[in-house]
Amino acid sequence: MANRCSLYAVDFAPSEGTKAKPLLLAEHAYDIPLAFKLLVSASPQISPSLDWPDEGEVAILGELAQGRERLFAFLDQLTNPLAQPLVEETKAFLTHPERQLSHILLEPFDIFQMTGPDSVTAITWLLEEIQHLDERLPHQIETTLVALQIPAPNSSKRLWPWQKPPKPRDPLQPLYDLGLGSWG
């Protein structure tokens, strides 16, 4: 178990049983990031898994073009200059001609195994969350913009002289948590 979710661009629905090769777009460890959820949010439906065919319907399939538009609309609201390189990287990656397939497939089964509920319950909850993302987006934008403004702590301060100094906080971590920087 790799403890990550994967995101594929596909020109078929896994239920069609085709042997066409999916295009891996990104992987993200230990969580299902918001960028992945937004990409799969256009006409999302529970789908058979390509990564875990014996597990049944533990993936989510959505329309790529509309999902990409939804993600880009969200990214356009991240106005902090720190965000712009990762926003531009994301847009360039997802608009590349070889990635213009019809559907997007989110494979979260590894995450489900880590978090506990059975896969049928987990995929149902995830689909419901994706279908209601619009309610959460304004708060997520505000939270991300605030987090980008928090200065990194002084990494030389230690509680005790024998302690190693804490690792400095990466100022881009709020963007990585959204799933940006995971492409390729």
- Residue for token pair 């403890």: 3
pLDDT of 41 strictly over 90: yes
pLDDT level of residue 65 (50, 70, 90 thresholds) = very high
- Phi, psi values for residue 58, rounded to 5°: -125, 25
Q: Where are the alpha helices (DSSP H) in the chain?
A: 34-39, 64-75, 84-95, 109-115, 119-131, 137-149, 173-177
Contacts of 98-101 with CB under 8 Å at 24 or more apart are 98/23, 99/9, 99/23, 99/25, 100/64, 100/65, 101/9, 101/10, 101/11, 101/23, 101/64
Q: Is the pTM of this model over 0.85?
A: yes
pLDDT level of residue 16 (50, 70, 90 thresholds) = low
The pLDDT score that the predictor gives to residue 122 is 84
- Residue for token pair 């042997």: 19
Amino acid at 147: A
What is the DSSP-derived secondary structure letter of residue 183? B
The pLDDT score that the predictor gives to residue 28 is 92
| Residue 23 near residue 101 (C-beta atoms within 8 A) | yes
